[in-house]
Structure 1
Amino acid sequence: MSAIRERLKQLLREIVSLEPSVELRCPSRPDDADLEHSLRQAWLMVARSLRANLQAGAQDPERNLELLDLMFRVDQARTEIRDLHLARNSELACLVDAAIERLRAITNSQDLLVAAGAEIAGLGFRRVLVSLIKNSCWVPESGYVSEDPEMALAMVRVGRRRPLSVQQLVESTMIQDRSPILVENVRSEPRVHAQLVGVTRTRSYVAAPLEVNGRIIAMLHADMPVAGGAVSKFDCMLLGHFARHFAHLLERATWVENLAKLQQTTAELQDRMDRASWDLGSTLPFRSETPVAQETRQTTGTGLQDCDRLAGLSAREMEVLGLMSSGCSNAAIADRLFLSEGTVKAHVKHVLQKTNSANRVEASSLYLARQRAG
């Protein structure tokens, strides 16, 4: 990389001598997108000098050949830089895919937000901040600073101490456009988070939104490229690429968490209904069998009499008995039905009482007999 940059600096110095009033910037990183602009300007400067020589009828073929050689070298440099961009894009795309694949194993949204910092740093940044947007305010959630965990904690602490409305900040443009941004010349930008800038002393940074279920719920910030210098448009594109894939993982984790809450609520509601049904049944007066019912019971087989002992069980109690008859412990039943172990014990007690069974084995035999009877 350094060899390429030195070659480019030498080439640009030669070309600037043609028009000293024009400044051609050589970025600190050869893969910087601004470098393509500088090389394009350099090519145009050489072309203007060559055209001026030809139009003036200057009889200096050696000078013209020198200018043609410069144009050829600029074209070569542009090709080399484009190849470098393609190679780096391909490499970083693989790094992003690998990072997302590692994060895919995490299904908890909080753990995902914490783990994201280290993965983003692995893409070429020394400092990362992951933040939530709560009530339109920027609230840092976790930070990552290579070899400086104290700085990471300080970033989160100062951001939480005084959450700012996103509408006041340059990030509002990012949220409105739903696309990553590059913030340059931070010291002269009035709409940055002044407290965070005071701690980090950053000069430029990139940020990307995290869109989940159609809403921007979080942001990613990164600066201090490992390659050195300021962040670039390429870094902005890279963070945006990661953010789009990461948002899908965050959305999936949110759905899993919401589903688990719904299942827990449903299980608790069913449990309350079962308890209410049992309490109501225990207060009703005993109703003796009619003569017809007695005759029917006496003329049917013992298996059917046993099956009738299950008639008073609720749907939940039948579920518990079914799992009990398959050999599940109370803990295993609780895990399968999303109940507490105490609730399962209460259901087992009700099953034994309602079926007039002495133990779990007798109750299970009634269930299995019913299954065989169809």
Structure 2
Amino acid sequence: MERTSEIISRAEEIISRSGDARRQALLAHAFTDPVARHRLDDLLSEVKAALAESPDGPALLAVVADIVSERRRLYIHDSAERERADSAVTSALKRLRGLGSSAEMSRRAPAELREACGFTRVMISSARGSRWMPDTMRPSDHADPDAAEFARFAKNDNEIPLAHLLPETQMVRHRLPVLVSETSPHAYKPLVQVTKTTSYVAAPIVAKRRVIGFFHADRIGQRGEVSQSDRDSIALFAAGFAVMFEHAVLNELLAQQRARWTAGLRAIIDALDGPAVATPAGTPLDARGDVVVPPHDDPAPGKHGRTLTERERQVVRLMASGATNHAIAGELVLSVETVKSHVKNIMRKLHATSRAGAVATYLQSVPKEVGAT
């Protein structure tokens, strides 16, 4: 009877603690602690063994029923949390996709992942070659006493070598998420010390078949530790984020390319639609009647004013070919305002009152053999 009372008392305590932890996990959007399930399994085995030897069958059977019931509640909680977390991750990724900008997606991703999965802190970092660089951490408002210290750590542009046994190295090699405990001999100790984490989950961000960064997350300050289910959640988020991030980067590159093409076409249209510049008398022409453009190393007219700069000579040669300011800007990759400034300086140095006069003065100063054909 004494043995039975002892088992019943311990069972009540373990079941009660499991229930408290389950309710805390519900509030934190967390999965239940695997340790609690292991304790219940061990307790169930002990009660079954005692049941075979003890005459107090009804009392022990009631304990078995309580244990099985609590195990079932843990299972129901984790199943519901899995469904909730998957849905929250999907919603978070949709919000990030709406941002468009890859830089803004990267900045907002840690906070979205933290809120979706109930983590205390989430960090995003980049990986280049054989090094990885912690970048941005998004902590919850109430659970990060070391935020300032980590901020200093990140601002120092720390580049952590991807040593042979680091979990991050394994992620680069195998592209799989990891769960790391404080006791792991392979965790990067300086980062563990500055974040004060006891365990964390991490997943690689894979784009174009290579790892470009990582997500790290923990539950510091919460009652439970991160779990294998947390590892699955962060892996799901990282996979979706990588696809959207790569798509955003490609869209930005295409937009930049389109802008360059548009500027070039606009310059050509402006040149075709703009007023023709009369060719000054005496301007050297080739057999087809086109203006002969002096070679790149032609001398500048020192006798008519201060020496033209190399850029000014490039501008005046294009002026001589009849190009408008927009066309010159497109050819030399300058702004139209910069071209206007160069034209003004050329006219001042050549003592000319018009573009045509500046071109005529410039061409007259070029050695005669330049135009001889």
Report TM bin, short chain.
Answer: 0.5 to 0.7
One-letter identity of the residue aligned with 2:237: F
Report if the CA contact (8 A) 1:138-1:166 is conserved: no
Distance in 1, matches of 2:58 and 2:133, equals: 61
Is 1:171 equivalent to 2:175 in the alignment? no
- Which one is further off, 206-215 or 29-38? 29-38
Matched, 1:116 2:109: yes
State how far apart, in whole Å, the 1-side matches of 2:99 and 2:167 are: 31
Structure 1 136/266 Cα, relative in aligned 2: closer, same or farther at 3 Å? farther
Aligned match of 2:226: 231
Unaligned runs of 5+ in 2: 1-6, 23-31, 280-284, 290-325, 341-373
1:80 Cα offset (Å): 0.8
Deviation (angstroms), 1:210: 0.8
Identity %: 26
Q: Matched residues in 2 for 1:73 and 1:263: separation?
A: 68
- CA RMSD, Structure 1 to Structure 2 (Å): 3.9
| 8 Å CA contact 1:27, 1:34 repeated in 2 | no
Q: Which residue pairs with 1:80 in the alignment?
A: 73
Shift of 1:251: 1.7
1:85 to 1:340, Cα distance in 2 relative to 1, 3 A: farther
Greater fraction of residues in helix: 1
Contact 2:37 2:71 in 1 (8 A): yes
Instruction: Give unpaired runs (5+ residues) of structure 1.
Output: 1-9, 18-24, 288-329, 347-374
Q: Residue 129 of structure 1: CA displacement?
A: 1.3
What letter is aligned with 2:208?
N
SS across alignment from 1:125: coil
Structure 2 counterparts to residues 21-40 of structure 1, below 5 A: 29-30=21-22, 31-40=32-41
Distance, in Å, in 1 between the alignment partners of 2:198 and 2:237 is 22
Matched with 2:180 is 183
1:136·1:167 contact (CA, 8 Å) conserved in 2? no
The C-alpha deviation readout for 1:244-273, integer Å capped at 9, x for no partner, is 221121121122123234435555777899
Report the counterpart of residue 146 of structure 1 in structure 2: 140
Alignment partner, residue 58 of structure 2: 65
Please say if residues 162 and 168 of structure 2, whose CA atoms lie closer than 8 Å, have aligned partners that are also in contact.
no
Compared CA separation, residues 126 and 154, structure 1 to 2 (3 A):
farther
- Is the partner of 1:202 in helix, strand or coil? coil
- 2:99 paired residue number: 106
Instruction: Say yes or no: does 1:215 pair with 2:210.
Output: yes
Match for residue 129 of structure 1?
123
> What's 1:193 paired with?
188
| Structure 2 residue identity aligned to 1:169 | L
* Shift in alpha-carbon separation, 1:340–1:264, aligned structure 2, 3 A: farther
Whichever residue aligns with residue 200 of structure 1, its letter is: T
Alignment partners' CA distance in 1, 2:200 and 2:186? 13
Shift of 1:243: 1.3
